[in-house]
Copies of this chain bind each other. A is one copy, B any other.
Amino acid sequence: MGSRLNANLQRFGALSAAEAQAVDELIGASRLAAPGEDMAAEGDPAGPCRVLIEGQAFRHKTLPDGRRQILAFLIPGDIIDLPGVFLNLDHSVTALGACELGSIPRTRLDALMQGAPAISHALWRTSQMELAIAREWMVGMGRRSAYSRIAHLFCEMIVRLGSVGLVSGYRCTFPVTQQHLSDALGLSAVHTNRTLQALRREGLLSFQAGELTVLDWPALQEAGEFDHTYLHLAGRPPRQSLTSARA
């Protein structure tokens, strides 16, 4: 369903029925990506613009000696190649679990960005939201403790996944290993492990086998100094469970 893209673009404000339909028609053939597959690599020239329809992925840079920094997690509805549309890609994108990808022809995209102001604005907003998330990550890596950082990331994923209907009962799929978490937060795997244990011990969450369950949402937010406003999702922490297809 391409309408995941619609769900994404309309998180900030509704599109008209015609526009929404135009968005759905954007997406051509979809294809699958296997877990761990590199969907894009550093230096790739501009190509088609792909959308993550199902599954999760991450952007990352890996240094020559193996150190890796994860830059963003992508969830259904996110646009993979927005950076690559205008500049050469300066990082890689790898699938976490199995992914389904949609593809938008460049000509169609260009046409809409020129001719459909509402869609163009929606694309701008998603791009600025990615920047807003990056800024919050910088605050975390620069100024927050490991404990806070981990809590904050989990809060963020709950709200983001919730906004596209992938959270129910404070539970969601987040198929990352502790090593992924470490690389996203700038920590060692050992320290991430111990800190995760502390979060579990305090009863804030459970996290195993790629499934995250928040057990004490207020406490987790406080631990992470989490304030959802930077996500610009009109204050939509998961109050009631937004049960959704195949959550």
A residues with a Cβ closer than 8 A to B are 12, 59, 61, 63, 67-69, 71, 82-83, 85-88, 90-91, 110, 113-114, 117, 120-121, 124-125, 127-132, 134-139, 141-143, 183, 185-186, 225, 229-230, 232
Contact = CB atoms under 8 A, between A and B. Distances in A.
B61 A139 contact: yes
Given A128-B82, A131-B134, A138-B71, A87 B143 contact: no
A12 B86 CA distance: 10
Contact of A114 (B82, B117, B130): B117
A143 to B, nearest CB: 5
A207 to B, nearest CB: 20
A110 to B, nearest CB: 7
Contacts of A139: 61, 63, 69, 71
Contacts of A110: 117
